[in-house]
Structure 1
Amino acid sequence: MNPLLNHPFTYVAKTIGDDFVTTSKYYCGVQAPNGKIYCPPASAAKVLEIDPSTDNWQVVGSDYGTGTFKWVGGVLAPNGKVYFTPGVAQQYLELDPATGVTTLVGSTYVGNYKWFGGVLAPNGIIYSAPYYSTRVMRLDPSTLTTSLVGQTFSAGQALFFNGVLANNGKVYFCPYSATRILELDPTTDTTAYVGDVLGGGAGRYASCTLALNGKIYFTPSKADRVLMFDPATGTTTLIGNSFGTSVHKWYSSALAPNGKIYCMPLNATRILEIDPVNNTTKLVGMSFTGSDKFTGTVGASNGALYGVPNNHLKLCKLSGVIGLDYTASFRQIPVPLSGLATSDYNKYFNKN
């Protein structure tokens, strides 16, 4: 029997913090050891810092101007620093949460929309998903060196978007316009397609999250249903309700304390809830108007989930989830961080 059935849930979704004044501001985010959330500047000029203790924000680091899609997605590394993935920018952006200082690191790469999102592997290496780029990017935070790994794809295909580390130690990248999931083996730096061939055209899925059952759930952007992938068997299954094939419905996802996955709305009007226990989906929380609202869903150590604003003028906070807390130990961050195994970083920090 599912123990959650005996525990009611109350969802409180609200907008918080001071207003923003620009659009296409930030893309995704990551929690740092200081408990704050950091979001890379897409069209914004500086890194966004969200403080869950006050539910407000400020900007930190150097000014990088207002070009579009400069950095997309972030990863916390074992050195305590955050690394933002270069979209249109030519290098990774390193942020030191202890000082708020940002630095450009790694080799220079030209081109637009190169990589979207990154994943920390058990070997301490960050791997970034090829969007328009022809190969996966590899960043070693200990040496700040970068290289391209895995098979070669055709350029400019909008192939993969974000990724996640599975319990088998392999990285899986979300198929945006690709027809299959991409698997990366960090022990060999090789890639391979896995799972079934997917239909539905370009822009299928834009985010993925590892559930407590070890399966990966992919957030529907243009696809009409959630995609479940089992790394143990290599099989994919469509689950839950159909939400139609309009584009950019949801672009991000994160695991909540109740063991469910939540996706902040981009063009959809409400938050999507994915229940991995029953493989069901539903819409929760308040309704939002407008387009391109939130591009990130990030879990904080206070148990709430925060929506990172793209065009929306405020932050979004989902809280008040009442019931069994399956992830409490994930939010009690060990001190000092030097004692935390590299393979545990995603459990505590890189959960979105």
Structure 2
Amino acid sequence: MDPTTDKSRAPRSDFYDGLDVKAKHPDNVVDHRPNGGPLLSLLWSKEPLNGQTLYLGGEVGSDGRIYCIPGHSPRVLVIDPETDEVTQVGPKELVSNGTKFKWLRGIPVGDVIYGLPCHASEVLRIHVPSQTVTKIPIPYEEFYEDPKIAKQQRKMIWKYHGGNICHDGCIYAVPQSAWHVLKIDPHTDTCSLVGPSLPGKYKWYGGVESGGSIYCVPQNSPHVLRISPEAITLHGDYGEGGHKWHGAAKSVDGTIVCIPNNVHTVLLITPDENEPTLTEIGDGSFIQTGRHRSDGKYKYLGAMAGTNGKVYIFPSGSEYVLEVDTRKNIARNVGPNLRDSGMERIFQNKWQNGLTNPHDDSVYAIPLSGETLLRIDCQNDMDPNGEGEVEVTTWPLPSPFETLDKWEGGVICANGLMYTMPNNCKAVLKIQPYNWKP
């Protein structure tokens, strides 16, 4: 998210007055199905949620329930999609290198969900069948000969941002400010630090697996980081610093599409066993932030591949959805101007994470500070050689809807229902597509 945003109030237009609020945002539930939109519901925990930055991602467990990864929250949150019950499990107070930004993103392996450390000095382990929540130590003191460096690495904040599974069955976490890649072996429930030393802060933001390796997105690092069990290597040179790209999504052909944050191009990574191909497409004539700011920064925050094979990049400050077709190496804006059309009155940090739902061939962008759910309907653009166009729409949220940084991450269940993880909002957002049938 954009750290420069005023935390008390997101930049926005006053597109409608107070008399319209209840009509657009009824309490707890808003049914857009009569107009071809989703049914949106807020689900509240039996034990009220308190605080901010509660959960930072979630995963579906082997029991079909959803487990939310604690950021500032003291406990793991569980969502049961069969009953819509929201409960908490595990110790009353999870602590690891403090209580803030403990873990960020989760990786399910069999009956276990692993929470990847952000500020935490341990890996979170959720054993689904027994509902037990424990921590796996990271061997800093064994790895670093200098006790001062070991302590520095253990106490470091913003250690990792995301991760993925490689073909050896192990999880590799992406170094944000940590010096080494973190390897988690689910076979032994042990951790190790691997690869060369990678000093620097806020180096990579997210990693996507493709072609047998994990490719990490350069935020402040000059290079793309490639992680595989065989080697950890650096590729390309895009200059130090700049908060360049912010996460990525994998297209249908395996190309990794990196999201423009403060740069004016999309970075495409085409995997290869030897040297990946790195290509930049687009330019500042249409890859732009909104008119509310003059620095050109914080344009987009997240992306997902649609069922039509194209990747859709979600606006943070930008006023358009950005579409990337990796088969033709083309990027373009699609849909209406979100500000001019009045489709979303928040100007910054509108949407971040997203979900692709094959049940209605739509991509959904989860509201961060935005007051609407963004939907990109791909049904009329399924022919790769055709001239179809996606439909971009927004759907007002139920009240309360004005919280900033509402949800962080979401999951789609096997039946097509979608649930989001509470960040500053104290409720789960349930998204039911218009054509959903039990």
Shorter-chain TM-score range: 0.7 to 0.9
Residue in structure 1 matched with residue 352 of structure 2 by the alignment: 251
Tell me by how many angstroms 1:80 deviates: 5.4
| Partner Cα separation in structure 1 for residue 191 and residue 51 of structure 2 | 24
User: 1:189 aligned to 276, 296, 302, which one?
Assistant: 276
* Gap runs ≥5 in structure 2: 1-32, 101-118, 120-156, 290-295, 340-345, 381-388
Total equivalences in the alignment: 315
Tell me by how many angstroms 1:97 deviates: 7.5
Preserved contact between residue 29 and residue 74 of structure 1 (Cα < 8 Å): no
| Partner Cα separation in structure 1 for residue 225 and residue 75 of structure 2 | 23
User: 2:96 aligned to 63, 87, 93, which one?
Assistant: 63
Tell me by how many angstroms 1:281 deviates: 1.9
User: 1:232 aligned to 327, 343, 347, which one?
Assistant: 327
Preserved contact between residue 305 and residue 318 of structure 1 (Cα < 8 Å): yes
Preserved contact between residue 263 and residue 297 of structure 1 (Cα < 8 Å): no
1:23 matched to 2:23? The reply is no
Gap change, CA 1:97 and 1:21, over 3 Å in 2: farther
Residue in structure 2 matched with residue 331 of structure 1 by the alignment: none
Query: Superposed, which structure 2 residues align to 1:90-169 within 5 Å?
Result: 90-92=179-181, 103=191, 105-107=193-195, 109-121=198-210, 123-140=211-228, 142=229, 146-148=232-234, 150-169=235-254
Tell me by how many angstroms 1:317 deviates: 2.4
1:85 matched to 2:174? The reply is yes
- What SS class does the counterpart of residue 63 from structure 1 fall into? coil
Gap change, CA 1:35 and 1:64, over 3 Å in 2: farther
TM norm structure 1? 0.75
Tell me by how many angstroms 1:268 deviates: 0.7
Residue in structure 1 matched with residue 373 of structure 2 by the alignment: 271
Residue in structure 2 matched with residue 337 of structure 1 by the alignment: none
Tell me the alpha carbon deviations over residues 222-274 of structure 1, each in whole angstroms, 9 at most, x when there is no partner: 10110111112112221123233822111111102311111111111121111
User: 1:281 aligned to 392, 395, 403, which one?
Assistant: 392
Tell me by how many angstroms 1:209 deviates: 0.9
Tell me by how many angstroms 1:33 deviates: 6.1
Tell me by how many angstroms 1:219 deviates: 0.3
Tell me by how many angstroms 1:43 deviates: 5.4
Gap change, CA 1:190 and 1:35, over 3 Å in 2: farther
| Partner Cα separation in structure 2 for residue 234 and residue 194 of structure 1 | 7
- What SS class does the counterpart of residue 249 from structure 2 fall into? strand
* Gap runs ≥5 in structure 1: 326-352
Gap change, CA 1:297 and 1:317, over 3 Å in 2: same
Residue in structure 2 matched with residue 345 of structure 1 by the alignment: none
Gap change, CA 1:75 and 1:8, over 3 Å in 2: same
- What SS class does the counterpart of residue 408 from structure 2 fall into? strand
Identity %: 26
Larger relative contact order, structure 1 or 2 (CA cutoff 8 Å, min sep 6): 1
Tell me by how many angstroms 1:312 deviates: 2.5
Residue in structure 1 matched with residue 418 of structure 2 by the alignment: 305
Give the aligned residue type for 1:156. G
Gap change, CA 1:47 and 1:89, over 3 Å in 2: farther
Preserved contact between residue 57 and residue 408 of structure 2 (Cα < 8 Å): yes
| Partner Cα separation in structure 2 for residue 300 and residue 227 of structure 1 | 26
Tell me by how many angstroms 1:26 deviates: 4.2
| Partner Cα separation in structure 2 for residue 102 and residue 315 of structure 1 | 32
Gap change, CA 1:230 and 1:87, over 3 Å in 2: same
| Partner Cα separation in structure 2 for residue 102 and residue 15 of structure 1 | 36
Tell me the alpha carbon deviations over residues 21-75 of structure 1, each in whole angstroms, 9 at most, x when there is no partner: 3423444455566656566665568887766555545469983433454443343
- What SS class does the counterpart of residue 352 from structure 2 fall into? coil
| Partner Cα separation in structure 1 for residue 52 and residue 181 of structure 2 | 22
User: 1:262 aligned to 364, 371, 375, which one?
Assistant: 364
Preserved contact between residue 75 and residue 89 of structure 2 (Cα < 8 Å): no
Give the aligned residue type for 1:311. N
Residue in structure 2 matched with residue 330 of structure 1 by the alignment: none
- What SS class does the counterpart of residue 253 from structure 1 fall into? strand
Query: Superposed, which structure 2 residues align to 1:172-187 within 5 Å?
Result: 172-187=257-272
Residue in structure 1 matched with residue 10 of structure 2 by the alignment: none
| Partner Cα separation in structure 1 for residue 80 and residue 179 of structure 2 | 29
| Partner Cα separation in structure 2 for residue 92 and residue 37 of structure 1 | 27
Gap change, CA 1:308 and 1:194, over 3 Å in 2: same
Preserved contact between residue 31 and residue 298 of structure 1 (Cα < 8 Å): yes
TM norm structure 2? 0.62
Tell me by how many angstroms 1:91 deviates: 4.5
Give the aligned residue type for 1:255. T
1:203 matched to 2:298? The reply is yes
Give the aligned residue type for 1:259. D
| Partner Cα separation in structure 2 for residue 71 and residue 44 of structure 1 | 18
Between 1:20-29 and 1:273-282, the stretch displaced more is 20-29
Preserved contact between residue 151 and residue 190 of structure 1 (Cα < 8 Å): no
Give the aligned residue type for 1:293. K
| Partner Cα separation in structure 2 for residue 112 and residue 50 of structure 1 | 35
| Partner Cα separation in structure 2 for residue 26 and residue 11 of structure 1 | 23
Gap change, CA 1:137 and 1:299, over 3 Å in 2: farther
Give the aligned residue type for 1:269. E
Tell me by how many angstroms 1:113 deviates: 2.1
| Partner Cα separation in structure 1 for residue 310 and residue 61 of structure 2 | 25
| Partner Cα separation in structure 1 for residue 193 and residue 326 of structure 2 | 33
